[in-house]
Structure 1
């Protein structure tokens, strides 16, 4: 589990990079599309959610990503 400082630093860095590089969403992965359906979110809402993340939203991780 990450410390509060690590999470705060990650969020700050991530948001700065997102302003410059934007975000690539992997829509071709079925599990990502299904997660949007399950959460009743439209794809256009994803970036606003990322921009609004705060330390209180952290729960665990980082988890190892397995690309198929």
Structure 2
């Protein structure tokens, strides 16, 4: 599994293994990719949560691009 982060126009890849944690800060474009599958648990921290603020830049799974 690889976490892909784009920050200030610069793309970086971060290999992940079972049990790793990875923090993505609010407003940071990010994507998780895997050639072998995997399970990801996403946790949001804060007092308010709004799924409607998600902006999809790319999607390989047929979900609507916003």
TM-score (norm 1): 0.25
Higher helix fraction (1 or 2): 1
* Relative contact order higher in (CA < 8 Å, ≥ 6 apart): 1
TM-score (norm 2): 0.25
Higher strand fraction (1 or 2): 2
